[in-house]
């Protein structure tokens, strides 16, 4: 079967299911979950079907409406887009499965059809954002996933949730407007919206100042979406107060969209023309890597002093975005490999963390770390999943997180950036403290009673968490396959 039409289906199918979801919910509310599960599974199958083709050819394109690239919108799935799409659809499927039982417990019944609709829209928008090859299309999909995530953060209607969502909305909207402004600046001097076309024409443009300003604005705006250190304030509130499956999606996938935006701007659009001769390009990458290194240390340090589990996990996300961006912006191939690999490792580990935190809230309404005494004995699968995932988040062998940090440190030493290496090591040490503190409370404290019975959450809730944590193990053991593919991709980028 030909896969030529598949790229468009990645967004068209979830959008179709999303548009029909409220109608379905009008008839029967319980029907919404199987309906959205069908949509997400179909999309996941299509994504995986694209893997062999793209790993063979490098990238595939699709001309929407049959218009050739600079005139029409061109969807282009390169390795980076494929990587993101595979993570999004696989993690999205597991998280959707988890949210079936959880969300009945958390939000009002009348809102459930709209929860699934927003979920599908968020899913479609993230996929569209990853695979598009057109700058304005990027903006449109960015707006869809931003609007849906503001709403999903606030969907419970609690006071804290509303406050967090409004903060998130203000910062997100300002960054979206800034992206639009930079698109306008770039368009007014380049005259094209297609990313590859822009990158071709950037080398010959006489309007160097405008192009550079647009570059700086792009980086600033996407840094807000990615929650890098000085502009990370919205993340801990929003991610800790959202319903747990949504926290998982936001932390594992949505902040990666900001990282992907930075990647697209730095490498896909500006890289070919600017990497060899622009001072600004190198300096901004330097500034970004310092910001990333500071997010590593500060995120980890803030995570230690938190008392609530979900807030701690949210701060840990700030640190991990730091690792990823540090890898991408240090301009060393090894570090880049580590950074990109950490996108997968962190998505799995962090999604698992939030799902476990959600299970604890669902079962015992436990939010504070101190309350977790003895959970390891009553909820062994959930707590075990947390323990394995925390190995990956800390970066111990044989998990995926270890490989990511190994390559990152390798890159730091190769480039002679010992300060960054030290900061990464400090961050890992701190993360060991905050992760293993929770594991300690779960397994080694509390009453040791013979009468304690196993009292687990429903299997639809512990299985996704267990699968994600096993995924970090499997990916760590069989990492060579993925890492060789990433190394091949990084070889084609302007990093030396």
Partner 1 sequence: MNFPRIFHNLNYAVSVLLFLMGLYTVAIKPNLIKKLMGLNIMETAVFLFIVSTGMVKGGHAPIVEKGVKASEMVNPIPQALILTGIVVAVSTTAVALALCIKIHEKFGTLDASKITGREEI
Partner 2 sequence: MKWKKLIVICSLAVLGGLLLFTVGEMPLFGSKDSPDKTHVIPRYLEKGEEEAGAKNIITGVILNYRGYDTEGEVSVIFSALCAVIALLGRERRRLSRSGVDAAGRPTSVIVNTVVKFLVPIILFFAVYVMLHGEDSPGGGFQGGAIVGASIIIFTLAFGLPRSTDRIPVGFRIPLESIAVLAFLSMGFLGMLFGVNFLTFILPGLSSRMAHTVRFFMLSFIEVGIGVAGGIIFTSIVFSMIREDEYELPPNLSQP
SS3 assignment, position 393? helix
Q: How far apart are CA 200 and CA 127, in angstroms?
A: 25
Phi, psi of 336 (to 5 degrees): -60, -45
Q: Is 280 in the site for partner 2 (CB under 8 A)?
A: no
Among 3, 42, 59, 151, binds partner 2 (CB under 8 A): 151
Taking the complex as a whole, the smallest distance from the CB of residue 7 to partner 2 amounts, in Å, to 9
User: Any contact of residue 92 with partner 2 (CB under 8 A)?
Assistant: no
Least distance between partner 2 and beta carbon 361 (Å): 20
Contact status, residue 273 vs residue 208, Cβ threshold 8 Å? no
Of the candidates 46, 87, 124, 313, which one interacts with partner 2 according to CB under 8 A?
124
- Binding partner 2 (rule: CB under 8 A), the pick from 10, 121, 314, 328 is 121
Q: Which of 3, 42, 136, 410 binds partner 2 (CB under 8 A)?
A: 136
Per CB under 8 A, the list member of 45, 55, 58, 71 interacting with partner 2 is: 71
Q: Pick the closer one to partner 1 by CB: 97 or 362.
A: 362
Binding flag, residue 291, partner 2 (CB under 8 A): no
Kindly tell me which of 207 and 290 has the beta carbon lying closer to partner 2: 207
User: Exactly one of 93, 154, 171, 400 binds partner 2 (CB under 8 A); which one?
Assistant: 154
Which residues on neighbouring strands pair with residue 77, listed in sequence order? Answer: 60
Number of residues that bind partner 2 (CB under 8 A): 62
Cβ proximity to partner 1: between 213 and 487 the closer is: 213
The answer to whether residue 167 forms part of the interface with partner 2 (CB under 8 A) is no
- The minimum distance between CB 18 and partner 2, in angstroms, equals 8
Burial zone of 261 (CB within 10 Å; 0-12 exposed, 13-18 middle, 19+ buried): buried
Bridge partners, residue 318, by sequence: none
> For tokens 């659009």, what's the residue?
269
Q: Is 155 in the site for partner 2 (CB under 8 A)?
A: yes
Cα separation, 299 vs 321, whole angstroms? 9
201 binds partner 2 (CB under 8 A): yes
SS3 (DSSP) at 63: strand
Closest CA to 148 of 128, 133, 134, 131: 128
Given the complex with partner 1, which of 147 and 412 has the nearer CB atom? 147
DSSP letters for 82-95:
HHHHHHHHHHHHHH
Query: Which entry of partner 1, partner 2, none binds 235, CB below 5 to 8 A by partner kind?
Result: none
Closer Cβ to partner 2, 272 or 446, answer by number: 272
> Which lies closer to partner 1 via its Cβ, residue 151 or residue 432?
151
Q: Comparing C-alpha atoms, which of 486, 129, 89 is closest to residue 327?
A: 486
Query: CB of residue 157 vs partner 1: minimum separation in angstroms?
Result: 6
Residue 77 is given by DSSP the state: E
121 neighbors 18 (Cβ within 8 angstroms): yes
| Cα–Cα distance for residue pair 41/48, rounded to 1 Å | 11
Closer CB to partner 2, residue 149 or residue 469? 149
Give the list of residues 6+ apart from residue 453 with CB closer than 8 angstroms, or none: 378
Candidate residues 40, 73, 442, 485; the one interacting with partner 2 per rule CB under 8 A? 73
Backbone angles phi, psi at 22, to 5 degrees: -65, -35
Show the 3-state SS of 271-312. Answer: HHHHCCCCHHHHHHHHHHHHHHHHHHHHHHHHHHCCCEHHHH
Position among 56, 57, 66, 453 found at the interface with partner 2 (CB under 8 A):
66
Where residue 10 falls (left for φ over 0; alpha for ψ -120 to 50; beta otherwise) is alpha
> Minimum CB separation from partner 1 for residue 151, in Å?
6
When the beta carbons of 111 and 367 are compared against partner 2, the nearer one is: 111
Site for partner 1, rule CB under 8 A: 136, 140, 143, 146-147, 150-151, 154, 157-160, 162-163, 165-166, 169-170, 173-174, 176-177, 180-181, 184, 187-188, 193
Closest to partner 2 by CB, 92 or 427? 92
Q: How far apart are CA 264 and CA 258, in angstroms?
A: 10
Is 395 a binding residue for partner 2 by CB under 8 A? The answer is no
Q: Does 143 bind partner 2 (CB under 8 A)?
A: yes
SS3 label, residue 149: helix
Closest CA to 85 of 117, 114, 54: 54
**Smallest separation, CB 486 to partner 2 (Å):** 29
Q: Which residues bind partner 2 (CB under 8 A)?
A: 5, 8, 12, 15-16, 18-20, 22-23, 26, 62-67, 70-73, 108, 110-111, 114-115, 117-118, 121, 124-125, 128, 134, 136-137, 140-141, 143-144, 147-148, 150-152, 154-155, 157, 185, 187-193, 201, 205, 207, 209-210, 213, 216
């Amino acid at each position: 079967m030909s896969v030529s039409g598949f790229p468009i289906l990645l967004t068209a199918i979830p959008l179709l299911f999303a548009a029909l979801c409220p109608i379905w919910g009008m008839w029967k509310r319980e029907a919404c979950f199987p309906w959205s599960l069908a949509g997400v599974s179909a999309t996941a199958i299509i994504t995986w079907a694209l893997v062999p083709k793209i790993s063979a050819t490098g990238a595939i394109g699709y001309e929407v409406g049959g218009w050739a690239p600079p005139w029409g919108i061109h969807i282009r799935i390169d390795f980076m887009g494929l990587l993101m799409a595979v993570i999004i659809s696989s993690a999205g499927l597991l998280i959707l499965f988890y949210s079936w039982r959880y969300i009945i417990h958390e939000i009002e019944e009348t809102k459930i059809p709209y929860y699934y609709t927003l979920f599908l829209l968020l899913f479609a928008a993230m996929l569209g954002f990853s695979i598009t090859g057109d700058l304005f299309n990027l903006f449109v999909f960015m707006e869809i996933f931003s609007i849906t995530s503001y709403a999903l953060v606030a969907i419970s209607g609690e006071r804290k949730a509303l406050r967090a969502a409004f903060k998130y909305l203000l910062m997100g909207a300002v960054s979206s407007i800034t992206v639009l402004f930079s698109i306008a600046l770039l368009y007014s001097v380049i005259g094209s919206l297609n990313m590859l076309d822009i990158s071709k024409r950037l080398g010959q443009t006489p309007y160097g100042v405008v192009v550079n300003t647009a570059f700086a604005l792009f980086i600033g705006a996407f840094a807000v979406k990615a929650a890098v250190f000085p502009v990370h304030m919205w993340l801990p509130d929003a991610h800790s107060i959202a319903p747990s499956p949504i926290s998982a999606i936001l932390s594992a996938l949505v902040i990666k969209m900001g990282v992907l935006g930075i990647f697209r701007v730095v490498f896909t659009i500006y890289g070919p023309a600017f990497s060899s001769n622009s001072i600004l390009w190198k300096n901004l990458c330097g500034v970004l890597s310092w910001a990333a290194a500071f997010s590593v240390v500060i995120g980890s340090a803030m995570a230690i002093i938190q008392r609530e589990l979900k807030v701690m996990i949210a701060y840990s996300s700030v640190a991990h975005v730091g690792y990823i961006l540090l890898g991408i912006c240090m301009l060393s191939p090894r570090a880049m490999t580590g950074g990109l690999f950490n996108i997968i490792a962190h998505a799995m580990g962090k999604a698992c963390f939030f799902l476990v935190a959600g299970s604890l809230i669902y079962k015992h309404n436990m939010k504070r770390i101190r309350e977790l005494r003895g959970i390891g004995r009553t909820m062994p699968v959930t707590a075990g999943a947390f323990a394995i995932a925390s190995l990956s988040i800390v970066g111990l062998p044989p998990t995926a997180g270890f490989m990511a940090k190994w390559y990152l440190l390798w890159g730091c030493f190769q480039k002679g950036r010992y300060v960054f290496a030290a900061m990464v090591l400090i961050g890992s040490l701190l993360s060991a403290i905050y992760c293993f503190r929770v594991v300690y409370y779960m397994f080694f404290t509390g009453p040791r009673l013979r009468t304690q019975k196993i009292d687990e959450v429903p299997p639809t809730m512990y299985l996704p968490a267990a699968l994600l944590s096993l995924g970090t193990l499997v990916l760590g053991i069989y990492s060579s396959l993925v890492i060789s593919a990433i190394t091949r991709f990084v070889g084609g980028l302007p990093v030396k």
